[in-house]
Amino acid sequence: MPLIRDSLIELIREGIHQAQAANVLPDFEPPDFVVEHPKQATHGDYATNVALQSARLARMAPRAIAQAIVEHMPLADYIGRVEIAGAGFINITLAPEWVAQQVETIQAAGATWGNLDIGTGQKAQVEFVSANPTGPLHIGRTWGAVLGDTIANLLEAVGYKVTREYYFNNAGRQMQILGKSVRARYMELIGKPATFPEDGYQGEYIWEIARTIVQEQGDAWANEGWRPFKERAEAWLFEDIRNTLARLGIHFDVWFNEHDLYTSGAIERTVQALRERGYAYDKDGAVWFRATAFGAEKDRVLIKSTGEPTYRLPDIAYHVNKLERGFDRIVNIFGADHKDEYPDVIAGVRALGYDADRIQVVIHQFINLVRGGRQVRMSTRRANYVTLDDLLDAVTITHPESGVTIPGKDPVRFMLLTRSPDSPMNFDLDLVAQQTPENPVYYVQYAHARICSILRKAEEEGWHPTGPDGWETSDTTILTHPAEQALIKKMLELPEVVENAVQKLSPHQLSFYAMDLASTFHTFYRDCRVLSSDPGEKDRTRARLKLVGASRIVLARVLGLMGMTAPERM
């Protein structure tokens, strides 16, 4: 079934056509118009500004246009009332009987509720995190991690076959410094003279890696250069990064290694192809990319006069590789520091004749770490950062009474998903430390736990979902109470929220929807007693249990899309 919103747009377009055919409206091309959920409940469930948008084209008063559209648009079974209001808005209210019946639809869809057929049969790839293995993941990386994983979840929900990919640079100078840093600590541990590199990594983890090597090798590496230390450190850090990401609920399908682009010859082929097409040339001993051919201010160096490629070359080769793997849609999650870089990559891909429109980039701003009211600048090199592991430890809470533990990924993911990626974020460590149960994260989860509690209680009292008289088979058309209707309508919005979030690559809409849904459920809970021992209320109890069951499905689904747990008790 198409989205109600899209279906309404069709009906309205048809209304315009019919009115034009009847000469009630003059001929004009219907403008782009929106069908949205009005802020005010008295304005119905959906509203459109089509008449206002058409006023100039039709040379008529908006209200008169609205009148003509309303009189000529076909009705559907889900439409209850159509009204003209204000300056010329058309307000549409859903039919209560139809709404009530939709509980059945949601129950039948189960865990697939909210899924759409946008990318069915297509392959998508999301590249995110992609931090170089020079240290543990810090808080600054967390936003990209959560954004990428949630966008991947959303793409899966709309039908794409999704590959989650982590690209890491293990060929550059930073890795060499890492190796030298570890080597220096190692030498110190086995009592050999060593000088720590001036620009070395100062974190405690360098000592840990060195101690690991001492355990494994004793002093056998005393005469080794930095290379084996770099190899061992890289492996150690990857283990660490992988574990940290797993705690966030993130699992990658592909760990793409920059080094492979060299060994496979992809780098060489990329330069060659650019040369052949006239987009690469030699100057001052370096190889340049003709970025100006694609609107850039100046050309960029691909290979330095020292013979080393700049980051641009492997990045272009990598994206060519992605496209050759046949992805229909490629999403990159970058921090704001890469904002001016990716146009070069896109240009490079385009220069080689590939369809760069398949590539989308989500840029997120930086996390501004605040402690004691002051900004903390993060730097891996100077070991001035808060690790994601430490953060996850700090926000994992166990409720003293129930003994239920809510993993740290829940508040972390939720918090990051209440921000638009465009908006810079202040992350106050003092506030994180004094986590309270009043956090909206727990508000949403509490609604789910409360639902589970009702269903448990129902079970105890003999109300079963299946079997003879099971509530899953109940007739829900009696659910006409305003709180029941409001709850069902809110659940019906999920597919639209998913569609919006995918289209705008803005997963933060999920968290606001989740809070809204939880709130609507809590209001229903207050107004509508579910379990009744009155024999005359049997049908109502069964129908409401079906509604509660559907609410659980939708809440769990949203939490799942956000990568959070849906606790049955807390």
Partner RNA sequence: GCCCCCGUAGCUCAAAGGAUAGAGCGCCUGACUUCGAAUCAGUAGGUUGCAGGUUCGAGUCCUGCCGGGGGCACCA
Window 96-135: residues binding RNA (CB under 7 A): 132
Out of 276, 353, 512, 537, the only residue in the binding site for RNA (CB under 7 A) is: 512
Out of 99, 248, 494, 570, the only residue in the binding site for RNA (CB under 7 A) is: 570
Tell me the residue length of the chain.
570
Q: Which of residues 141-170 bind RNA (CB under 7 A)?
A: 169
Specify the amino acid at residue 488.
Answer: I
Question: Is residue 149 a contact partner of residue 164, using CB atoms and an 8 Å limit?
Answer: yes
* Beta-bridge mates of residue 255: 166
Report the nearest approach of RNA to the CB of residue 106 (Å). 20
Report the nearest approach of RNA to the CB of residue 495 (Å). 12
Q: Which of residues 268-297 bind RNA (CB under 7 A)?
A: 283-286, 297
* Beta-bridge mates of residue 286: 283
Provide the mask over 392-411, with x wherever binding to RNA is found by CB under 7 A and - wherever it is not: -----x-x--x-x-x-----
Q: Strand 254-257 relative to strand 161-168: parallel, antiparallel, unpaired? A: parallel
Cα(115)–Cα(112) distance, rounded to whole angstroms?
A: 6
Cα(133)–Cα(550) distance, rounded to whole angstroms?
A: 44
Cα(319)–Cα(46) distance, rounded to whole angstroms?
A: 42
Contacts of 543 (CB under 8 A, 6+ apart): 103, 471, 474, 475, 476, 478, 479
Report the nearest approach of RNA to the CB of residue 93 (Å). 11
| CA distance to 153, 335, 451, per residue, from 141 (Å) | 19, 9, 35
Provide the mask over 179-218, with x wherever binding to RNA is found by CB under 7 A and - wherever it is not: ----------------------------------------
Cα(421)–Cα(416) distance, rounded to whole angstroms?
A: 9
φ, ψ of residue 464 to 5 degrees: the values are: -105, 150
Measured from the CB atom, is 186 or 288 closer to RNA? 288
Q: Which of residues 349-368 bind RNA (CB under 7 A)?
A: 365-366, 368
Contacts of 460 (CB under 8 A, 6+ apart): none
Provide the mask over 13-52, with x wherever binding to RNA is found by CB under 7 A and - wherever it is not: ---------------------xxx-xxx-xxx--x-x--x
Measured from the CB atom, is 185 or 448 closer to RNA? 448
Q: Rule CB under 7 A: say whether 12 interacts with RNA.
A: no
Q: How many residues bind to RNA according to rule CB under 7 A? A: 96
Angle, CA of 180, 196 and 378, to the nearest 5°: 85
Q: Which of residues 521-560 bind RNA (CB under 7 A)?
A: 522-523, 525-526, 528-531
Measured from the CB atom, is 7 or 18 closer to RNA? 7
Q: Rule CB under 7 A: say whether 306 interacts with RNA.
A: yes
Query: Is the four-CA dihedral 110, 111, 113, 118 of positive or negative sign?
Result: negative
Residue 480: CA atoms inside 13 Å, Cβ hemisphere, count?
Answer: 6
Cα(331)–Cα(319) distance, rounded to whole angstroms?
A: 11
Out of 424, 433, 480, 537, the only residue in the binding site for RNA (CB under 7 A) is: 424
Report the nearest approach of RNA to the CB of residue 154 (Å). 15
Measured from the CB atom, is 251 or 529 closer to RNA? 529
Report the nearest approach of RNA to the CB of residue 217 (Å). 29
Measured from the CB atom, is 185 or 364 closer to RNA? 364
Q: Which of residues 428-467 bind RNA (CB under 7 A)?
A: 428, 436-440, 442-443, 446, 449-450, 452-454, 457
Measured from the CB atom, is 148 or 213 closer to RNA? 148
Q: Which two tokens stand for residue 504?
A: 């705008």
Specify the amino acid at residue 495.
Answer: P
Q: Strand 367-371 relative to strand 425-428: parallel, antiparallel, unpaired? A: parallel
Question: Is residue 46 a contact partner of residue 36, using CB atoms and an 8 Å limit?
Answer: yes
Report the nearest approach of RNA to the CB of residue 192 (Å). 30
CA 534 from centroid of its chain's CA atoms: 46
Out of 120, 264, 305, 480, the only residue in the binding site for RNA (CB under 7 A) is: 305
Report the nearest approach of RNA to the CB of residue 211 (Å). 28
Q: Rule CB under 7 A: say whether 478 interacts with RNA.
A: no
Q: Which two tokens stand for residue 430?
A: 């003092």
Question: Is residue 352 a contact partner of residue 270, using CB atoms and an 8 Å limit?
Answer: yes
Measured from the CB atom, is 36 or 219 closer to RNA? 36
Report the nearest approach of RNA to the CB of residue 214 (Å). 30
Measured from the CB atom, is 238 or 366 closer to RNA? 366
Measured from the CB atom, is 225 or 424 closer to RNA? 424
Provide the mask over 323-352, with x wherever binding to RNA is found by CB under 7 A and - wherever it is not: -------------xxxxxx-----------
3-state secondary structure of 267: helix
DSSP assignment of 159-178 = T-EEEEEEEE--SSHHHHHH
Measured from the CB atom, is 393 or 422 closer to RNA? 422
Residue 240: CA atoms inside 13 Å, Cβ hemisphere, count?
Answer: 22
Provide the mask over 48-87, with x wherever binding to RNA is found by CB under 7 A and - wherever it is not: -x--xx-xx----------------------------xxx
Question: Is residue 420 a contact partner of residue 362, using CB atoms and an 8 Å limit?
Answer: no
